[in-house]
Structure 1
Amino acid sequence: MTLLELSLKNVRRNLGLYTIYGISMVIGIMIFFSFSSVMYNPDILDALENAQNFQTGFLIGSSVIVLFVVLFILYANSFFIRQRKKELGMYMLYGMKERHLLLMLLYETLALGAAALLAGGLLGGLLSKIFGALLMNLMKYDQAISLDYPVQAIIATLAVFVVLIAAAAIQSYLLIARVQLVDLFRAKEITEKPIRTSAVLAVLAVLLLGTSLFIVGSGKQSAFWSDHAGASLIYCSIGIVAGTYLFFRQFAGWLLQQWSRSKRYYGGNTTLWTSSIRFQIRGNTLNLTFISLFSTMLILLMCFVSINYSVQFEAVGRNLPNDLAYESKSAAVDSEVKKAIEASDHGILTSRTLELLRSEPVTDPAIAFENPEYYAPGVLLVSAADYNAVVAARGDKQQVSLSGDEAVSLSQGMDFPEALPGSGAAFQVRVLSDGASKSHESNGSNASTKESKASNESHAATFKVVEKKDYALLGWSTDPVTSMVKKPAVLVIADGEYDRLSQESQASASNSASISTFRIYNLADAANAEALSRELHAIVTGQSDTYYSSFADVYSRQIEGSSLLLFSSAFLALIALFSLASVIYFKQLREATEARRQYAILRKLGVGRREMMSVIRKQLLFVFALPLLPGLLSSWLIIKTYILDSVQDFPNLKGMVWGIMALYFLIYAGFYLVSTNIYYRIANRTA
């Protein structure tokens, strides 16, 4: 009998194990091929405005998926080899050399892999059509997706297949070549020893986890994060990881040990399921720690990307409240802009002209505006009446009522609106006429000349900023290529002060006053006006330092980017959950196989089916529930404190987070129920 014939016979004889291994390979290849097919689908690429960024993002996601698939296949292959070590030992006992043994395993893996490649590729192509339609729906694009098997995706999948086979071959060599023949026969007979617990380490585990979660839940405004952010981050990272490990390694064993000393310990079937856990804690510590930390990261990832996607549609509108806004410097340019809009497919719904006073800050801009580095130089002053008129036209409830020297800064992008205590913060600006502005911008002017012109052609005014409002009047300036650039700093002042400063500025100006006029348009189908925006940007920015803002310049990038992030993360979460389920499944499969002798003894002692199932359920509940609880608690604290509290204007987000956590819990519960049934069937198999 040749090695090839022996390999095919082994596949038929070990069909159960090969089915598990084969399904694992099929799912891994299917997920990767469907992801790659979406990346190269021509219908999707034609619909996107930023196809290059899309493919770059998908390429990064593909690399992570490949890593997950390889690690998962290696774990499955390790289980597969371990289950067959006794059989492989028999072959070596009959004189088969290691290289022949490895070649036989390679033949088996190639045969199984070829079938998995074909099945996974066909299923992946079908799924890619569904996933492509889902992606277009996320991006709000009305684009039909055809069934396609792109050549690039096929080549990439073949390359991944070669990597999988090579990695499995190397792992098989390491698993077989480094063990003695006697170890192959005793591989499944090695049992765990109960770990020695320490009350000190058990208390340390609780302290590390408790203090870390307390610091995390204290909020970013607390002294831990505002004054000692670096040290807090390091402590929490080490505390959560080390505390989780010690929690399973020491605290769980110590807790079971203390429980064993109580009188209720010997009632019911408690002794049966707890004694098994005490012997398995040593081998399960890393698994339990991994499941807990992995659950935390996975929930955080899905909640973050889901929140990011949910807020993007409204966030883009808040950052760019006007479909089109630009600074009007020429009647000819205004006429050309209007003609270009009317000639396009985007009709003018409404239009407005807004006049603002130009000034420059005398005091530190940070007094009135958060993160002043994101703002363009200078400060624009708008009257409360004009501001309220724009707010009312938008239907927003952001009106202000000001008197005297009171002012409100439009510090858009803050986590929370901030009402300044007392009578407000003093903020001084200097309103400039054109002459003052030019003298201030010219190079080579000495300080005395600047001061003289500033005194003659500028008018200083001090305002009391009573509130920093998270609201945009004009929005970020944009560019069709670079998207958002800078945002104008706008200060809302009382009508009387605005009129006074405007009149004084006009009286001292040599020609025109320091008033900037802005044209604002609301357009039909503004989200798809990228081509029009490129044309208008070229017209408006012919004059340097001219403000231009277009909703379309940012919308497609933001929505496509957040949709891509959500879609890729969902794919990663899918394969990560699959990997987690497989780790749990293979672990329970191995433990159930090793526990057959013990359960056979229990059957002989008269333990019935219902009682045995109860023991298995309680034993696995301890393994499943214990790592899930700290994972859910940690992820909720982080999300609540550092994400939800910063986006309180979006009331539906909390329900969405609870929904994601509930979905994860239900999937996890499904793993638990399936594992208990599989464990029972294997442990009670008489063969």
Structure 2
Amino acid sequence: MFCKLALRNVTRSLKDYAVYFLTLTFGVCIFYIFNSLESQWCMQMLAQSAHYIVDTILILMDVFSVFVSVVLACLVLYANTFLMKRRKRELATYFLLGLPTVKVSLLLVLETLVIGLLSLGAGLLLGVLLSHGLGLLTMSMFAFYPAGESFGLILSGKTIVKTVLYFGVIFLVVVLFTGLSVSRARLIDLIQGGRKNEELREPPLWQSVLTFLLGVALLLIAYTMLLVRGLLYIDPLFFLMLALGTLGTLLFFRSLSGFLLRLVKVRKGLYYKGLNMFVLRQFNSRIHTTYVSMTVICLLLLLAIGVTACCVGLNHTIGATTDASAPYDFTIQNYSGDVSPTDIPALLTENGFDAETELTATRSCDLYYNDAGITVPGQGSSDVVISLTDYNALMALQGRAGLSEESLPQLGTATLVTGFSGVGAYLVVDDATAATLSVRRQIFVGNFAGDPQTAETALTAAVQSQGFAQTGSYRLDTRLQIYLENMGTKILVLFMGLYLGLVFLVTAAAVLALQQLSQAADDQKRYAVLARLGAPEGMRDRAVFTQVFLSFFLPLALAAVHSVVGMTAANAVISVVGQVDSVQSSLVTAALLFVIYGAYFLATYFGARTVVRGNGLRTR
């Protein structure tokens, strides 16, 4: 009987509390997607040349997963508290019928178990499908992938077990809290749970204005400290800045409990239009006790926007450095070239790699030790020098313009340029000056004539052969190797940022949605009174829309302002290593907000509208 009753209650809960079920499902889905990265093709590819980056990604994923599980546990507990609040009179009915506390707790445990299993199954199924989409996304980020290879759905048994374990612990905690709340419940409180109204205490206008101005002043101080000091100085002033920003946000929302209502009252036409007076007074009474949660939601949205935008912007910067650091398919350096120079192309051919047929656009040249007198005023110096002729030849291989001898400064100075593939920055001097310097090492660069992966494998085998080892000390850097290292960093930044950004965004949206549905259930009788007074259904629906809109987009608006200031400071740091693609990061962040936050907003509006019409959250 208990199982049948629990299943019946869960079925009704899935219909009435769709936001709760979807949030649990989405939490499981996100957890599975980002913990199944080990099975993705991109990670297996990176492990071939940059296994240390793969290990770093997996370790950070484990650490982040613990943090995410704590966040999701708090979210599930909050959602469960919401469900318990809506079912107070149902629980009172069970007690009045003589059902003991132990059996009521057992019934709720069974319901929690059913909900957990349903959301876990749906979340894992969705996670498997979306992880395939994530795999295709990461594959598209690579400039190459094995030809003819198919990429089907990947089912990670290890990740499934991990997800079940983490969420099993979460639901165990939920069961314990549910049993504790039922054991402490008093019958009179359960019966009168829906009759407690919040007292509307309208603060004096001067107090609201003063609170608002103080909050804005604290925010401006925090903004100024952030822009002037930057993000890199972690000291007591940094934490003071965070405290001022948080307190300013709290005071801003606290002042709305009287400031917004008084402000609209001045405009009589707007205040008395439709049901605006009713909506504003309802919003005013709610924000008196919800300004703390609105502050938390605003900060969560700030983290979601900031983390997502920064990771996408930095991801573009990291990707743009690949061509600069690896302009050729390969670079071979003979560190013994100063004492035992060799013919590197001939040596390759002797050790099984035909340089004539396998390579194209090659160049051999020497690097020299710098003379103490060769410097670049205002730019510094370098230990490595290259002749003008060799430099222009290397630039020609890249399709770039070289330098003329007239463009070089007088003897004793040089031009400092960026290096390539393990060489670093070096000085360019005229050929006559280079001839007076001692050879430091030999370099041989070029591009592959055929498939880069096949050619790199053969080239690596030749350089690592005994024939090379007997003639000197060599280092091989390939574009593919450097590319994979950069891609590893790129994926690390992108995945970590998206993981946290999505969790923060879903948490903020879910908390808001559950909060608004709960308030809509409390307002059901008030909307029924409006209906009896003659307010048409369309007007009541617009009132619900306005209430939900204010609750969703006021925290979002302030979070957007926070994020603009934060991104300005973050871009100042990122721009040191490269150009930040602010347009791309803004578009991606806006798209995620539009899809996820907008979906929760619409779901909440339609759910709240159904509730106030009397067809939603029923008292069982």
2:483 is equivalent to residue 555 of structure 1: yes
The separation in 2 between residues aligned to 1:79 and 1:346, in whole angstroms, is 72
The Cα shift of 1:13 comes to 5.6
The separation in 2 between residues aligned to 1:214 and 1:191, in whole angstroms, is 42
The separation in 2 between residues aligned to 1:285 and 1:528, in whole angstroms, is 62
Within the candidate set 242, 245, 258, 1:253 is matched to: 258
Alignment of 1:335-374 (within 5 A): 335-337=346-348, 339=350, 342=353, 347-359=358-370, 368=379
Match of 1:395 in 2: 399
Letter of the structure 2 residue corresponding to residue 491 of structure 1: L
Q: Provide, for residues 100-123 of structure 1, a one-character-per-residue CA deviation record: whole Å limited to 9, x for no partner.
A: 322221112223333333443344
Q: Secondary structure at the match of 1:342?
A: coil
2:27 is equivalent to residue 28 of structure 1: yes
Q: Provide, for residues 247-306 of structure 1, a one-character-per-residue CA deviation record: whole Å limited to 9, x for no partner.
A: 111256324334435545643143222111110113321332223222222122222222
Q: Is the 8 A contact 1:342 1:348 kept in 2?
A: no
CA RMSD of aligned residues (A): 3.9
Within the candidate set 266, 274, 277, 1:271 is matched to: 277
The separation in 1 between residues aligned to 2:321 and 2:605, in whole angstroms, is 46
The separation in 2 between residues aligned to 1:19 and 1:678, in whole angstroms, is 9
The Cα shift of 1:596 comes to 1.0
Q: Is the 8 A contact 2:370 2:383 kept in 1?
A: yes
Letter of the structure 2 residue corresponding to residue 202 of structure 1: F
Within the candidate set 177, 189, 200, 2:195 is matched to: 189
Alignment of 1:369-518 (within 5 A): 379-384=383-388, 386-396=390-400, 399=403, 401-404=407-410, 407=413, 410=416, 472-475=418-421, 477=422, 488-493=424-429, 495=430, 499-500=432-433, 502-503=435-436, 505=437, 513-514=438-439, 516-518=441-443
Match of 1:424 in 2: none
Match of 1:522 in 2: 447
Q: Secondary structure at the match of 1:492?
A: strand
Q: Secondary structure at the match of 2:447?
A: strand
Q: Secondary structure at the match of 1:613?
A: helix
2:19 is equivalent to residue 73 of structure 1: no
Q: 1:167 to 1:352 in 2, by over 3 A?
A: same
Q: Provide, for residues 36-70 of structure 1, a one-character-per-residue CA deviation record: whole Å limited to 9, x for no partner.
A: 44533689647852565254454445445434443
Match of 1:418 in 2: none
Letter of the structure 2 residue corresponding to residue 39 of structure 1: E
Q: Secondary structure at the match of 2:385?
A: strand
The separation in 2 between residues aligned to 1:231 and 1:491, in whole angstroms, is 43
- Unpaired runs of at least 5, structure 2: none
Q: Secondary structure at the match of 1:209?
A: helix
The Cα shift of 1:648 comes to 9.7
Task: Using the TM superposition, name which of 261-270 and 197-206 deviates more.
Answer: 261-270
Alignment of 1:273-292 (within 5 A): 273-292=279-298
Match of 1:306 in 2: 312
The separation in 2 between residues aligned to 1:44 and 1:635, in whole angstroms, is 32
The separation in 2 between residues aligned to 1:634 and 1:93, in whole angstroms, is 51
The Cα shift of 1:167 comes to 1.7
Q: Is the 8 A contact 2:211 2:255 kept in 1?
A: yes
Letter of the structure 1 residue corresponding to residue 272 of structure 2: G
Q: 1:99 to 1:227 in 2, by over 3 A?
A: closer
Q: Secondary structure at the match of 2:194?
A: coil
Match of 1:201 in 2: 211
Report 1 or 2 for greater relative contact order, CA contacts < 8 Å, sequence distance ≥ 6. Answer: 2
The separation in 1 between residues aligned to 2:588 and 2:267, in whole angstroms, is 39
Q: 1:586 to 1:546 in 2, by over 3 A?
A: same
Q: Provide, for residues 456-475 of structure 1, a one-character-per-residue CA deviation record: whole Å limited to 9, x for no partner.
A: xxxxxxxxxxxxxxx52334
Q: 1:657 to 1:7 in 2, by over 3 A?
A: closer
Within the candidate set 146, 149, 153, 1:147 is matched to: 153
Within the candidate set 242, 255, 258, 1:237 is matched to: 242
Q: Secondary structure at the match of 2:368?
A: strand
Q: Provide, for residues 298-348 of structure 1, a one-character-per-residue CA deviation record: whole Å limited to 9, x for no partner.
A: 122222222233233331221233332233324557233455583599931
The separation in 1 between residues aligned to 2:58 and 2:20, in whole angstroms, is 32
The Cα shift of 1:528 comes to 7.3
Alignment of 1:300-339 (within 5 A): 300-328=306-334, 329=337, 330-332=340-342, 334=344, 335-337=346-348, 339=350
The separation in 2 between residues aligned to 1:138 and 1:325, in whole angstroms, is 24
Q: Secondary structure at the match of 2:427?
A: strand
The separation in 2 between residues aligned to 1:528 and 1:318, in whole angstroms, is 23
Match of 1:680 in 2: 609
Q: 1:343 to 1:404 in 2, by over 3 A?
A: closer
Q: Secondary structure at the match of 1:149?
A: coil
Q: Secondary structure at the match of 1:292?
A: helix
Letter of the structure 2 residue corresponding to residue 639 of structure 1: M
Match of 2:107 in 1: 104
Match of 1:448 in 2: none
Letter of the structure 2 residue corresponding to residue 577 of structure 1: L
Letter of the structure 2 residue corresponding to residue 395 of structure 1: G
The separation in 2 between residues aligned to 1:85 and 1:345, in whole angstroms, is 83
The Cα shift of 1:537 comes to 5.9
The Cα shift of 1:18 comes to 6.2
Q: Secondary structure at the match of 2:370?
A: strand
TM-score, normalisation: structure 2: 0.82
The Cα shift of 1:172 comes to 1.0
Task: Using the TM superposition, name which of 288-297 and 637-646 deviates more.
Answer: 637-646
Match of 2:222 in 1: 212
The Cα shift of 1:589 comes to 0.7
Q: Provide, for residues 138-197 of structure 1, a one-character-per-residue CA deviation record: whole Å limited to 9, x for no partner.
A: 334344223343332332233134213212112213433444332223333333344644
Letter of the structure 2 residue corresponding to residue 103 of structure 1: L
TM-score, normalisation: structure 1: 0.75
Letter of the structure 1 residue corresponding to residue 607 of structure 2: I
Q: Is the 8 A contact 2:368 2:441 kept in 1?
A: yes
The separation in 1 between residues aligned to 2:455 and 2:257, in whole angstroms, is 60
Q: 1:646 to 1:26 in 2, by over 3 A?
A: closer
Percent identical pairs in the alignment equals: 21
The Cα shift of 1:77 comes to 1.6
Q: 1:666 to 1:387 in 2, by over 3 A?
A: same
Letter of the structure 2 residue corresponding to residue 563 of structure 1: I
Task: Using the TM superposition, name which of 199-208 and 262-271 deviates more.
Answer: 262-271
The separation in 2 between residues aligned to 1:380 and 1:665, in whole angstroms, is 50
Alignment of 1:135-174 (within 5 A): 135-140=138-143, 141-142=145-146, 143-174=149-180
Within the candidate set 624, 629, 642, 2:570 is matched to: 642
Q: Is the 8 A contact 1:253 1:281 kept in 2?
A: no
2:520 is equivalent to residue 592 of structure 1: yes
The separation in 2 between residues aligned to 1:226 and 1:129, in whole angstroms, is 36
Letter of the structure 1 residue corresponding to residue 442 of structure 2: T
Task: Using the TM superposition, name which of 279-288 and 18-27 deviates more.
Answer: 18-27
Q: Is the 8 A contact 2:209 2:259 kept in 1?
A: yes
Q: Secondary structure at the match of 1:248?
A: helix
Q: 1:250 to 1:362 in 2, by over 3 A?
A: farther
Q: 1:527 to 1:245 in 2, by over 3 A?
A: farther
Q: Is the 8 A contact 1:355 1:518 kept in 2?
A: yes
Q: Secondary structure at the match of 2:353?
A: helix
Q: Is the 8 A contact 2:411 2:433 kept in 1?
A: no
The Cα shift of 1:651 comes to 7.5
The separation in 2 between residues aligned to 1:309 and 1:286, in whole angstroms, is 34
Q: Secondary structure at the match of 2:114?
A: helix
Letter of the structure 1 residue corresponding to residue 534 of structure 2: G
Q: Is the 8 A contact 2:271 2:277 kept in 1?
A: yes
The Cα shift of 1:388 comes to 4.0
The separation in 2 between residues aligned to 1:366 and 1:537, in whole angstroms, is 39
Q: Is the 8 A contact 1:89 1:184 kept in 2?
A: yes
The separation in 2 between residues aligned to 1:215 and 1:542, in whole angstroms, is 60
Match of 1:583 in 2: 511
Q: Secondary structure at the match of 2:442?
A: strand
Q: Is the 8 A contact 2:218 2:248 kept in 1?
A: yes
Q: Is the 8 A contact 2:318 2:486 kept in 1?
A: yes
